[in-house]
Amino acid sequence: MSVKILENYFGITPQQTIEDGSSVRYMVDNSLYTIIQATHMEQEALIELYEMSEHMAKYGDNKVSTFVPGLNGKFLITHENQDYVLMHNYRFPPSRNKNTGSKLAKFHERGKLIQAPISGANRVGQWKSYWIKRLEQIEKVWSGVIQERTGEEFEKLFIRSFPYYLGLCENAIQYVTDTELDEELTFSDMGTIGHQRFHENVWNKQMEIRSPFDWVFDHPSRDIAEWIRDCYFRNYRSFQPELTQFIRGYESVSPLSGFSWRLVYARLLFPLHYFSCIEDYYLTSSQWTQKQLEERLNRYMRDARDYERFLGSFYHVAGVGYSHFPVIDWLVPS
């Protein structure tokens, strides 16, 4: 069907099909095409992604996916009651720059220059309200689980663990509040094009494609913190060399302000990894996936003390030159 969409609506006949992670891409000469389903996306949201994509391409990011107009001149096409857009990339050899930190900083510097108004995808200054909403939703689920008590192992773990992670969440919200009161903003704190959840594999797949469908508009610290979170949980016993290289790379392009560092810390305090695990469990119908998530939750609980130590000594571990930054007093330093 995808080939039919390419041929009928865009006049493109692919020469080759390539699997790239979970995406299927179609190759014509040195061009890659990716069909994205957009049935449930608001038109305003698509327009913002288009504006961000055009901006990044215009300012020299040659890895960014750009929107392809159909034969009728429109970017959104409808086939069998489903909406689609087509994204284009040029195929490049793998980047010689292996430092994700410096690449991310250059990406952010370009993103700060965007002139188009971004509202739907804008998350600047909204972390606390998003976190509170998310916390309230999970608290409702937790209350329901306590009342029903089916005896499922995951639910036992959830019942036991939630009060602890509720406390971490409240600490994160308060830390953002204190940061906004204590720290001055600098140019480096401008909103930029960033990612919903940035980690090493977002860019390091085979094709190094940067898709606007991964993006939001937010403070740069969002991507930095989420990369650090992923780095820690990928290899929590030996993450420090990778973390140091990433931070040095980022700051070689764009040094971080005190405000930025404290937002990074606040975001690491917020237990997004835990919340995602709980939400994914109740959203999936796959027993195999549920079992994987049960094992993950078990691991988070088992290793919670290690994560406390990481948070307790974060500024030291990250080599941050701001010794006056507050840490949460109940967290155990290494």
Residue-range domain boundaries for the chain = 2-92, 127-317
Give, for all 334 residues of the chain, the pLDDT tens digit.
688 889 899 999 988 888 877 788 899 988 999 999 999 899 999 999 999 999 999 999 999 999 999 999 999 999 989 999 999 999 877 777 778 999 999 999 999 999 999 999 999 999 999 999 999 999 999 999 998 877 789 999 999 999 999 999 999 999 999 999 999 898 889 999 999 999 988 886 667 889 999 999 999 999 999 999 999 999 888 899 999 999 999 999 999 999 999 999 999 999 999 999 999 999 999 999 999 999 999 999 999 999 999 999 899 889 887 667 888 888 866 5
**Which pairs from 133-136 meet CB under 8 Å and 24+ separation?**
134/275, 135/166, 135/169
Up-side HSE of residue 165: CA atoms within 13 Å toward CB? 28
Q: Hey, what amino acid is at 100?
A: T
Q: Which residue has the tokens 């690491």?
A: 268
Q: Which two tokens stand for residue 222?
A: 């969002």
Q: In residues, how long is the chain?
A: 334
How far are the Cα atoms of 133, 261, 263, 331 from residue 180, in angstroms, in the given order? 20, 12, 9, 22
pLDDT digits (tens, 9 = 90+) for 119-130: 999 999 999 999
Centre a 10 Å sphere on the Cβ of residue 261 and count the other Cβ atoms it contains.
Answer: 22
Round to whole Å and give the CA distance between 155 and 160. 8
pLDDT digits (tens, 9 = 90+) for 251-264: 999 999 999 999 99
Does CATH number 3.30.200.20 belong to domain 2-92? yes
pLDDT digits (tens, 9 = 90+) for 31-84: 999 999 999 899 999 999 999 999 999 999 999 999 999 999 999 999 989 999
| Topology of domain 127-317, CATH | Aminoglycoside 3'-phosphotransferase; Chain: A, domain 2 (3.90.1200)
